Structure 1
């Protein structure tokens, strides 16, 4: 299966029609990072996400992704927790999540308990945008610093259902983008379960993937 993922990643990146500055990307060298996101777990009995880079290396994974859980854990390729996301329990219809720095060495122990999470300050709060008047239907979610700040750190706009979203910072600069793969090669087509996540230099690719998970919870 992993060999298939490597082939899938390369074929997706070869076919993806995007600007020259987004090709052959490497965030370490001050360029964009382009990741292939597959809405499928490497573990046969689990649902989840598998994320690989343009060389076919496994960089992120999510397992046991079933329904609408109260907590999500984003792991790196080795299974170590990167970020923990916990749904905020409030008497409101607006879906809202706190994002914490993950910890732990394996999937069994990487997720912190509710008590530990409550004593840790979240690094971001992500809230689904609902506009009754549809004043700005393109806005999907707002990201704030911490749990109490009223300042918007990022705004997510576009359509996650169509896998066409942009994450914009306070100056309206695009820092990450979700792109759907529409083209086909040799009779193989890619649906919404395989898409591209482009991350600009300076923006954390782990947090970009965390936003993908939360958008999936909010709009799937």
Structure 2
């Protein structure tokens, strides 16, 4: 059983921006997380996310409601960080809204969709506004695979995060409900978690 603490890794900075009371979780170093695709709450759907020291940092609990159209990403204390809303029933389209200390922000932080045609489903794309005011675009490579994918910055082609099956130090590959999430430096962890959650919802993993 993973060791659970209520503290963040020392390398993680909680950045406070003057225009919002939202905290941005950004690290100067590459961070590795473990995602357990099971809720901490009995009879609930969701997941729990631990950092490399075994500390619980994020959680999702959809009480007895699988494949919900509204999902909340929370921190270890249960504070809502991002609210994910499904905007289209026919096409897979989601929007993520950040929460400040007490309420949801009026404008969506990111929009993610997967274009559908008669013959195929295309790679999901995400558009979001950075805290510096720049419009950014990410895409998820590896759709249809519930246990692995890469998130790429479309402007540079670089991988900003990767999800894959967790492998123990002894080389044992764990089940497809225990994943490793690797996030590159200076990338908001909560944003990546929001995209991974939407990806999992599109794949009906949670």
Class of the TM-score when normalised by the shorter of the 2 chains = 0.7 to 0.9
**1:128–1:142 Cα contact (<8 Å) kept:** yes
- Counterpart-to-counterpart distance in 1, 2:35 and 2:70: 20
- Counterpart-to-counterpart distance in 2, 1:166 and 1:143: 13
Q: Determine which structure has more spread, i.e. the larger CA radius of gyration.
A: 1
Query: Paired residue for 1:195?
Result: 179
Query: Paired residue for 2:164?
Result: 179
Q: 1:154 aligns with which of 138, 143, 160?
A: 138
Relative contact order, higher structure (CA 8 A, sep 6+)? 2
CA separation of 1:6 and 1:159: change in aligned 2, threshold 3 A: farther
| SS of residue matched to 1:47 | strand
Q: By percentage of residues, which structure has more helix?
A: 1
Tell me, yes or no, if structure 1 residue 38 matches structure 2 residue 21: no
Task: Compute the RMSD of aligned alpha carbons.
Answer: 2.9
Q: 5+ unaligned residues in a row in structure 2: which ranges?
A: 5-9, 14-26, 130-134
Tell me, yes or no, if structure 1 residue 164 matches structure 2 residue 136: no
**2:127–2:137 Cα contact (<8 Å) kept:** yes
The equivalences for 1:22-101 within 5 A come to 26=11, 30-64=28-62, 66-89=65-88, 93-101=90-98
- Counterpart-to-counterpart distance in 1, 2:34 and 2:167: 14
Tell me, yes or no, if structure 1 residue 6 matches structure 2 residue 29: no
Q: 1:141 aligns with which of 124, 139, 145?
A: 124
- The two structures have a TM-score, normalised by structure 1, of 0.71
Q: By percentage of residues, which structure has more strand?
A: 2
- The two structures have a TM-score, normalised by structure 2, of 0.75
CA separation of 1:67 and 1:32: change in aligned 2, threshold 3 A: same
CA separation of 1:47 and 1:67: change in aligned 2, threshold 3 A: closer
Q: 5+ unaligned residues in a row in structure 1: which ranges?
A: 8-24
**1:37–1:195 Cα contact (<8 Å) kept:** yes
Deviations 1:168-214 (A, max 9, x none): 1121111111011256859x751110000111111111111111111
**1:50–1:58 Cα contact (<8 Å) kept:** yes
Count of residue correspondences = 180
- Counterpart-to-counterpart distance in 2, 1:201 and 1:191: 27
| SS of residue matched to 2:45 | coil
Deviations 1:1-54 (A, max 9, x none): xxx1239xxxxxxxxxxxxxxxxx955562211000001111123221000001
**1:35–1:198 Cα contact (<8 Å) kept:** yes
